[in-house]
Amino acid sequence: MIKRGYLDFAWGQVHMRMAEADPALPLLLLLHQSPLSARNYDRLLPLLTPVCRPVAIDTPGYGGSDLPERQWEVADYAALVLAIADRLGASRFHLFARATGTVFALATALAAPARLHSLALHGMPVYTAEERADRLAQFAPPFAPRDDGGHLAWIWQRIHTEYPWIEAPLATEFVRDYLATGGDFATAYRAIWRYDLRAAAAAGLAVPTR
């Protein structure tokens, strides 16, 4: 059974999804890809409970989490990961991330390697400086509601362009996640496109990583 909850911060609330597990087990935080939400981990979370306490976090501005008033940088998202672990009573924890979330997870590991038992990264988006500039300029324009529902068709087509294999039920969940952003679904994207991932990763990681 998936349970949901919120953590309060000065800037707003973070929404999280979790499956009950032995509180003595180590914490595992899971970060999702943008512009989706932690709901994508619902089937996985119960399978993890024999070995950890799994908690999937909605990135600020996505899913059920509030959008901060100012634009965040990668360091802000990394600081939030550590603050969430603190709130959940974990001095050390495991961290898994997908796509956009991998950049925030890497920054977390670089900032506080002693806090992590392990780091797992799936689909890290590594771009050249030119690619990052191009994506900042044109990759993810905001959408506005239209009386004829045209924005829904635009989202549907964008999802099918990125995931040609996707079936209708999952695509519908993705549409929900796009709509939850309020139209500007690129807030987390812009943070990673402003971040020099190659330079950051060159310093190396002092955390077991896969």
Query: Domains plus CATH for the chain?
Result: 2-128+195-202 (3.40.50.1820)
* pLDDT cut 90: percent of the chain above it: 95
Mean pLDDT along residues 61-81: 97
Residue 43: which of 3, 6, 2, 14 has the closest Cα?
2
Question: pLDDT grade, residue 159 (50/70/90)?
Answer: very high
Return the axis-axis angle of helices 100-111 and 74-87, rounded to nearest 10°: 70
What's the whole-number average pLDDT of the chain? 96
Q: What angle do CA 193, 199, 200 make, to 5 degrees?
A: 80
List of residues 6+ apart from 114 with CB closer than 8 A = 92
Coil/strand/helix, residue 175: helix
Q: What angle do CA 93, 79, 121 make, to 5 degrees?
A: 55
Answer yes or no: are the C-beta atoms of 186 and 71 closer than 8 Å.
no
Q: Tokens standing for 150?
A: 């045209």
pTM of the model: 0.96
List of residues 6+ apart from 147 with CB closer than 8 A = none
Residues in the chain: 210
Question: pLDDT grade, residue 1 (50/70/90)?
Answer: confident
Question: pLDDT grade, residue 203 (50/70/90)?
Answer: confident
What is the Cα–Cα distance from 17 to 107, expressed in whole angstroms? 22
In sign, the C-alpha dihedral spanning 192, 196, 202, 207 is negative
